[in-house]
Amino acid sequence: MLKLILYRLALAVPQLLLLSLFVFFLTYLIPGSPAGAILGAAATPEGIARLEAQLGLDRPWYVRLGEFYAGLVRGDLGNSYISGRPVVELFVERIPATASLILAGMLVAVILGLALGIMGGTKPGSIRDRVATAFTSVSMSLPEFWVGIVLLLIFAVQLRILPVVSYVPFDVDPFGWARGLILPSIALGVGGAALIARQTRTAMASAMSSRYIDSLTAAGVPRRRVVFRYSFKNALVPVLASTGLTVSIMLGASFSVEKVFSFPGIGALMIRSVTGKDFAVVQGGVLLIAIMIILINLILDVSYGLLNPKSRPS
């Protein structure tokens, strides 16, 4: 298993280097200057040139690229053009909010997706299978921000049983933190649940139609034990692959959910940085999101290796 982890980490290094290079050059294609965005309506050619010199934006691209990679080695992503604060510090402040939202949304997606998949996969073609399939088809077509707005209008504005501004730091109020995650996690997790449910349904239907399941049933093994101990365990192997894809999609969808529920997370910071041409923050945010996806996929790969020893590198 250690060899699997080292193998995945070794593959992650060139991926991050290529991604950082791509993002660095992509900022040159964005029209306008960060200095012009900072100065706003008072910007003049002389003022823009002076501010670019102060920010180091007037230096050749290869010098800036070398400094960028040198900073990565030291764990320094530079300073924000707008606030002047270190980029790492900005993201450290906002990671707890985004991590809370992603984990809560993933919990909703996994629980709801597995329940619907097992419900439909154990009896393909039945009424409950059709109900589960219809639910997944509808939920996959609904944008996360629209679901969030509807939930907000019903439970926060009309019924007033949940807060409008959702996020409360865990160290400030643990109960308020958990209560504020209910609506955002549902809005984020419903779409992911549909993907997991479809994969689980297919895997469970395939497992339940296997010969060893017929043998276990003929031997008098209780159906609950057949479903959860044998069929579900084998169905988890392909489900893990869809879970990794779901997490990647949810990371992108969390940006809009954070906007709807006023979450002070990475998504809000990235949107503000893109519109304000704060390229140092944008580069750092893309790398951070890539690292999060790589770590999540690493955890799933390890889990996959535990369930299926044949997948481990020899």
* Helix (H) or strand (E) segment spanning residue 262: none
What is the model's pLDDT at position 256? 87
For residue 162, report the phi and psi dihedrals to the nearest 5 degrees: -135, 155
pLDDT in tens, 282-298: 888 888 888 888 887 77
Q: How confident is the model at residue 311 (pLDDT cuts 50, 70, 90)?
A: low
- pLDDT bracket for residue 186 (50, 70, 90): very high
d(CA 155, CA 292): 32
Segment 141-169 mean pLDDT: 87
Tens of pLDDT, residues 89-111: 999 989 899 889 999 999 999 89
Neighbours of 77 (CB within 10 A): 22
Q: Which two tokens stand for residue 291?
A: 């690292």
Is domain 95-265 annotated with CATH 2.60.40.1180? no
Under 8 Å between Cβ of 8 and 298: yes
> Within 13 Å, how many C-alpha atoms sit on residue 290's CB side?
19
Q: Which helix (H) or strand (E) holds 308?
A: none
**CA gap 169, 178 in Å, rounded:** 10
Domain extents for the chain? Answer: 95-265
Q: Interior CA angle at 271 toward 266 and 273, to 5°?
A: 90
